[in-house]
Chain A
Amino acid sequence: MDNEDNKQITPRPDLSGHYAGFISRLIAFTVDLLILSTVIVFLTWFVPTSITMMQLRPDEFIGRHFPYLSSFFEFIYQSFTNLGTTWGIFGIITIIIYNSFFVSFAGQTPGKALLGLRVVPISGYKISLIHGMIRYLLYYLSALPLGLGFLWILIDDRRMAWHDKIARTYVLYAWEARPDEQFLVKVISTMEESRRKLKEMRSKKSKETETNQIK
């Protein structure tokens, strides 16, 4: 009883401003990915459809006034009315703008904001748009060796991925972060239970094989 009371009274550690861990960042990244996918799918459908529906031919108009640019604008028109090309163009542009803009403007993308994380530069200055863009492009460097650059968060003392190290940024908890101890207890007890069951199953199997061998 006393122990229970003590457990209830003991304040949980406040981790606000501490380095954010791998799972939080992974969830934030997944949320961003979902938002980006939705936006890109919408743009990919919306732009070519609206151009085709309204029968807009800006390339012809420009070509009449500037004949030497007509082939170039025709190429752009063809590209924008083609689904694959539009996806490519809008996909890349949207992803870069999304990441660099939000990180430089608010220090956090919507996914990071949801999980209460913030990107803070080591220099102490504000993250510029270029800095944010470079940081995002460095994601690919972290992803290249089978995501080892991202997994580095798990073993690094300051929970920095490779792109964080190169771009010189930290990702910190921007809320009064505290672990959910009940959840941890649940997870551990579930794991122990499953381990116990596994052991029981193994012992049963071994007994059965022994009896079979004796027979």
Chain B
Amino acid sequence: MDQASSTAIVPIRNEQENVQEVLITESYSTNNSNLGSLVRLVIGGLVLGYDELMVRLNEWENLISHQQNITAGENSDTPISLDQEQVFFINAKSPNSEENDRLIFAVFGLLSESQQITIKGLKAVDKRSRILLRVTGSIIKPLTSNRFIRPVMNRYDQLAQRGQDEVERWVNVGKLEYQHSYRLAKTALQSTINESINTLADNPEIHNLIETQSAGLANEVLEETRERSVTADNFIEDILRALLRRPLRSELPPPPDEMREKATKIIKVAK
């Protein structure tokens, strides 16, 4: 656990701007342990997910209500355009939104702090109980080893054993639940990916886009190859002619027009 310095920049949400940076000058101890990071991740994920979900829900609600408006009263005198309506709903904030934000931050701070406070408290309790046990152990030893007290001690041991068994049971249930949750999350993720891929594969617009782009790319590559081969034809010939001390060709002698027409006939028809 680090005792971090007191100054830090933390982004918070605001009504006017989406993100505002705030300087925290109070002493704040950051907990970089795995558990702390996990708690932070879960809380952050929840907050982020909640925000995103709310924005989307607003949008969907607006879209649905707009569609309903269109189908219900197409002859309305004052139709509201989709953009105007969306902007109105998205920008609209309840008067309590600032209070809600404060509440969310308070919960966030409490959760972060409570985890640290709990660990600190548990450590203190553990330390004190050890001291107490050391001090009182020698005093109460004759009392605990007394045979009249033994039935009470036996009951206490049974109770402790039962508690231990209960904890063991929780551990087993936890293991099972952990595996189950893991499998569930994995299945959910896999099915989401599969569904997304299926949607992409079935979408005719994406099909067209891929086909067009692939064909365009193939044509480009083919044309480039042809052009380069034509260049290489001339280049190699020039080199060979230079080696054989023959005059360089300024221009290729064209074949008879009939031949040229025959060779390029299909291209001209296709064009």
Taking CB atoms, residues of chain B closer than 8 Å to A116 are: 226
Asked if A24 meets B229 with Cβ closer than 8 Å, knowing A16-B267, A17-B263, the reply is: yes
Choose from A21, A114, A120, A172 the contact partner of B234 (Cβ within 8 Å): A21
Chain B 137-159, CB-CB to A under 8 Å as 1, else 0, gives 00000000000000000000000
- For A188, the closest partner residue in chain B by CB is B235
Check B263 against A183 for contact (C-beta < 8 Å): no
Instruction: Give the contacts of B219-252 with A (CB-CB under 8 A).
Output: 222, 224-237, 240-241, 244, 246, 252
- For B254, the closest partner residue in chain A by CB is A18
Taking CB atoms, residues of chain A closer than 8 Å to B261 are: 17
Taking CB atoms, residues of chain A closer than 8 Å to B259 are: 17, 120, 122, 124, 170, 172
The distance from the CB of B235 to the nearest CB of chain A, in whole angstroms, is 6
Choose from B227, B237, B246, B264 the contact partner of A183 (Cβ within 8 Å): B227
Most chain-B Cβ atoms within 10 A of its Cβ — which of A17, A157, A178, A183? A17
Bound-state Cα–Cα, A168 to B227, Å? 27
Asked if A174 meets B264 with Cβ closer than 8 Å, knowing A17-B254, A17-B259, A187-B235, the reply is: yes
Chain B interface, >50% SS class: helix
- For B229, the closest partner residue in chain A by CB is A24
Check B230 against A19 for contact (C-beta < 8 Å): no
Check B254 against A180 for contact (C-beta < 8 Å): no
Q: Any chain B CB within 8 A of the CB of A145?
A: no
Bound-state Cα–Cα, A158 to B253, Å? 7
Taking CB atoms, residues of chain A closer than 8 Å to B232 are: 21, 23-24
Bound-state Cα–Cα, A15 to B255, Å? 11
The distance from the CB of B53 to the nearest CB of chain A, in whole angstroms, is 53
Total count of chain B residues near the partner, CB < 8 A? 32
Check A174 against B254 for contact (C-beta < 8 Å): no
Check B260 against A115 for contact (C-beta < 8 Å): no
Q: Any chain B CB within 8 A of the CB of A155?
A: yes
User: Can you name 11 extra interface pairs (CB under 8 A) apart from A179-B234, A183-B231?
Assistant: A22-B233, A23-B232, A23-B233, A118-B262, A124-B258, A155-B240, A155-B241, A157-B253, A172-B259, A175-B226, A180-B230
A: residues with CB less than 8 A from B are 15-24, 27, 114-116, 118, 120, 122, 124, 154-155, 157-158, 170, 172-181, 183-184, 187
Query: What are 11 sample pairs from A and B whose C-beta atoms fall under 8 A apart?
Result: A15-B252, A17-B259, A17-B264, A18-B260, A115-B229, A118-B263, A154-B236, A174-B263, A176-B267, A177-B226, A179-B227
B: residues with CB less than 8 A from A are 222, 224-237, 240-241, 244, 246, 252-255, 258-264, 266-267
